[in-house]
Amino acid sequence: MELEKIEKLVNHLLSAQDKHTEINKLTETHCPDLTIKEAYAIQKALIEKRLARGEAIAGPKMGLTSQAKLQQMAVDDPIYGYVLDSMLIEDGGTIAINEYIHPKVEPELGFVLKEEIKGPGVTKEDVLAATDFIFPAIEIIDSRYRNFQFTLPDVIADNASAAGAVFGTSIKKLGTLDLETIGVVLEINGKVKEVGAGAAVLNHPAEAVARLVNILAEQGKSVKPGQPILTGAMTAAVKIEAGDYVEVKFGEGVGVVRLFVS
């Protein structure tokens, strides 16, 4: 894809984000034959443009990490994008609904590594050995596309719908934790909306990190120690509205993370 066309698509996506206005899918209006490789090229240019205007990368995030989503999209591997520092909300902080389009929240486990790991061939066991600690998180996803509908290349180009993240302040060493069975409860205004477990994320959240490392290896990149990594949703995403109070409770002492919506 020509650089001029990539630039045009990046500006189109950024305009939708900045104006909080939904747009038609890129594959519907601009490039019906958009490939995954081209979509990641658009994502890369999108991130570079945001960095150039003063934002910084907080850490990578995984998407499509449930078997149901993978089957729905007819792919074998999840996708990735990036959380930027401008997207971060402090634990217990407040977001303004009018700064989003149609936001949803997802509970996720975050990983921080104590050493760099490089692919290919990285396994979840490698990830666990390299993990410093995990932390509770809420990801806010907000596709720029109309009605939250997209193809796989569309969502990749749109930075995997990344829009916000709340990183919990509690940290937990792995020890004897079984990340497959760690439970989570997502409540909105005191009512349970979703429940899930670590196994919902590629059967084990560390597998999501391993997939990320191996995907990045194809580009000559690695995952750095100390960088927070979001591993993917442990439940279905839940739409939020003004006035909502979101509380996500993780089992095994992992912690609680909260968010207010105004």
Query: For 196-227, what is each residue's pLDDT tens digit?
Result: 999 999 999 999 999 999 999 998 888 889 99
Percent of the chain as helix, strand, coil, to the nearest 5: 35, 30, 35
**How far apart (Å, rounded) are the C-alpha atoms in residues 112 and 244?**
29
**How far apart (Å, rounded) are the C-alpha atoms in residues 129 and 115?**
9
DSSP code string of 94-155: EE-GGGSSS-EEEEEEEEEESS-B--SS--HHHHHHHEEEEEEEEEEE--SBGGG---HHHH
- Residues near 220 by Cβ (< 8 Å), separated by ≥ 6? none
* Residue 37 host element (H or E): helix 36-52
Q: Report the share of the chain in percent with pLDDT over 70.
A: 98
Stretch 86-97: mean pLDDT, rounded? 98
188 in Cβ contact with 104 (< 8 Å): no
Q: Is pLDDT at 73 greater than 80 in this prediction?
A: no
For residue 247, the domain's CATH number is 3.90.850.10
**What is the tens place of the pLDDT at every residue in 9-36?**
999 999 999 999 999 999 999 999 999 9
Q: How many domains does the chain have?
A: 1
- pTM of structure: 0.95
| Residues 71-81: b if buried by 16+ CB within 10 A, e if exposed | eeeeeeebbbb
120 upstream amide cis, omega within 30 of 0:
yes
Query: pLDDT-based confidence at 167, cuts 50/70/90?
Result: very high
Query: Which structural domain range is residue 197 located in?
Result: 3-261
Query: pLDDT-based confidence at 72, cuts 50/70/90?
Result: low
Q: Is pLDDT at 70 greater than 80 in this prediction?
A: no
